[in-house]
Amino acid sequence: MTIAQLRAYAAVVRHGSVRAAAEALGLTESAVSMHVAGLRKELGDELFSRSRSGLAFTPGGLRLASRAVELLGLQDRTVLEVSQAGQGRRLLRIGATSLFTELAAPGLIEAFTERADDLDVELSVHRAEEFEGLLRSRAIDLAIGPPWPEPVPGVVHRAFLAYDLVLVAAPGHPLAAKPVTAQSLARATWLLGPAAIGDAGSVPALLRRVGVPEAHQRIFQSEAAALEELHHTAGVAPAVAFAVAQDLAAGRLVRLAGQDTTERGIWVGAALEDDHGSTSAELLRFLHTPRATRAMVRGSGVPARRFRPAVHVTLWS
């Protein structure tokens, strides 16, 4: 089994036909067919057959498709790491949800890299549902976001930072005068950041609990943009308590009181079990230190020369 064979097979799976795979790889159809035939002979499995609706994969063919992605990702990672090692540098790729990326990641990266002159950090934004696939394909080294629905074999999960999600509004908002009810909140206009998209995390959980209809939800490109809009629109917004502490203390925002105005959240780090001893395992341990907590809550950000954002924003798809 060769890398060329796996790459050809993965392309067939991804594009749905030998012809499309050949075009994507810049090969002839006969070359792609030859690679697939070699895999069939070596594995003793037909892998797939053609049907009127496209390709029909055997159970073994589906398993190979998954493994091919993992192996190709591992090869790309190895090539990158060998190249960087030759240059005396390391690269840590973090995938995180939008809420953590915007509010806590800059401080964390600053604290973690301040004593590591040979380390660059690449940060990409993803939905929590994508984390397992990204880790197994080696597209990222560490995933940070809300708790996973259930334990996953081969993946280490560690909760490291709990936070309170509170509901805020501009001073003078009608709902700020007295304790609110779930009914009055459901009728309000909610100004939201990208964290509201999807099913995982504290923001979607609060929206479900209150029963906010989609017609009353307005989503902005960032949490900061949603909070800024509070000063121009009579809306309410969920916010992480430590992120708005100064605005609340200065009276620029007010915290709503009453039913369904808070939600408890927690961030979890996840990495592959066999990555022990790696930079991702080192960061996973660092997440539990008091220095990391202070940095995430109060961090000022990392210098641009140390931070290489690779923002693959899939939140709007």
Chain segment 95-129, per-residue pLDDT in tens: 999 999 999 999 999 999 887 777 888 888 999 99
The neighbour count for residue 50, using CB atoms within 10 Å, is 10
Give the Cα separation of 135 and 271 in Å (integer).
7
To the nearest whole percent, how much of the chain has pLDDT over 90? 43
Which of 20-24, 68-72, 300-304 has the weakest average pLDDT? 300-304
Chain segment 147-161, per-residue pLDDT in tens: 999 988 999 999 999
Enumerate domains of the chain plus CATH numbers: 3-81 (1.10.10.10), 90-317 (3.40.190.290)
The pLDDT of residue 288 is above 50 = yes
Chain segment 238-266, per-residue pLDDT in tens: 999 999 999 999 999 999 998 889 999 99
Q: What is the dihedral of CA 194, 198, 199, 200, to 10 degrees?
A: -50
Give the phi and the psi of residue 47 in degrees, each rounded to 5. Answer: 70, -55
SS3 157: strand
- Amino acid, res. 239: A
Give the Cα separation of 128 and 107 in Å (integer).
21
Contact 286, 112 (CB under 8 A): yes
pTM of the model: 0.68
Helix (H) or strand (E) holding 124: strand 119-125
Chain segment 57-92, per-residue pLDDT in tens: 788 888 888 888 878 877 777 776 676 666 667 788
* Radius of gyration of the chain measured on its C-alpha atoms: 23
Joined together, the tokens standing for residue 118 give 């040979």
Kindly tell me the sign of the dihedral angle through the C-alpha atoms of 58, 61, 66, 69. negative
